[in-house]
Amino acid sequence: MPGGTASNQESELKIIVIKSDNTTQEFQPGFKLVAPVVVQKFYHDGYVSKENYIMDIIRKVKLVYISAATTNNEHTIGTYDISWVQKWICCGKEDSQGKGWKKVIVGSIVRYYQYDGIAGTTRTPIITIFSGTNTNKVFDYNMNGLSFRLSENTGREYFNPESLAAFLGAIIDVGYPDIISNGCCGIDGTGAYSKSHVNGINIDLKYLIKGEKRARFDTGIVPILVSSPLLDKDRQNGFLNALYKFGWGHTVKNLSHYINSQEDILSHCRKAGGHADHLHIQGFKPKNK
């Protein structure tokens, strides 16, 4: 199974007994307490479980998809190591007069990310389901009657566990094999050089091509613009509807570009410059249960 599978971190469990004379006695019974694992569930109807992620206690997350109302149809997607990283508020092109902003340089592009609280004190969990070091990564799952695939071709392969669960839910919902992420966030919790990718929530995607071809993965297939006649508009809108079902585009609309001169907009999107070559999903408001 792809993803982080490092050995469990363990800590010794001690028992302290307070005697009737108020003295104490410490016992070490000879067994160990395995570090807690959060089970992040996501459901066929668009809901995700609301879990309590506690820094320095929760070290792993198990993703479990439930395809029907009964527990007989649970699919364990995998168990992955959590990275606790700096939580960010926002990003800008300037450092806001130097007040608590971190400078990040990617190529020739400079961005400033604002700390949530004092630097290093407010953390957030992120995970990746991908393994390997190259930029063309693929996660395939095919077990017990459930099959889906997600491709990734950037170094921004980390996601918030809850948003990743909802994202995978939408992918499973449509069953398309050619969904490609242009990245969520990096190991530092930023999506530099993007200004809106922080904390593993917002995700960029390549537009879907007719014939279910994967740009830069399948031989001879290159990325398309949203205005291309190769755009599979029906499937693209189908996926956007599934993403909306799982929480995206609710607080604000997703970002795309008009398809043609009549400004034909994709579902749950608004027109945005700079998005002719990729779809940006945002406005995530999970449905919890």
Give the β-pairing of 137-143 and 279-281. Answer: unpaired
Report percent pLDDT > 90 for the chain.
61
State the pLDDT at residue 121. 80
Any domain includes 131: yes
- Write out the DSSP string of 73-133: GEEEEEEEE-EEEE-EEEEESS-GGGSSEEEEEETTEEEEEEESSSTTTSEEEEB----SS
State the pLDDT at residue 286. 96
Any domain includes 238: yes
State the pLDDT at residue 155. 87
- pLDDT greater than 90 at residue 106: no
- The CATH number of the domain holding residue 226 is 3.30.1380
Any domain includes 177: yes
| Domain, as residue range, for 137 | 10-288
- 20-73 confidence digits (pLDDT tens): 556 665 655 554 445 699 999 999 999 999 999 998 889 999 999 999 866 578
Provide the token pair at 53: 């992620």
Task: Identify which has the larger pLDDT, 275 or 90.
Answer: 275
State the pLDDT at residue 134. 73
Any domain includes 107: yes
- pLDDT greater than 70 at residue 217: yes
State the pLDDT at residue 70. 60
| Number of separate domains in the chain | 1
- pLDDT greater than 70 at residue 103: yes
Q: What is the pTM of this model?
A: 0.85
Any domain includes 4: no
- 164-173 confidence digits (pLDDT tens): 999 999 999 9
Any domain includes 2: no
Residue 240: partners with Cβ closer than 8 Å, 6 or more residues away: 249, 254, 266, 267, 268, 269, 279
Any domain includes 160: yes
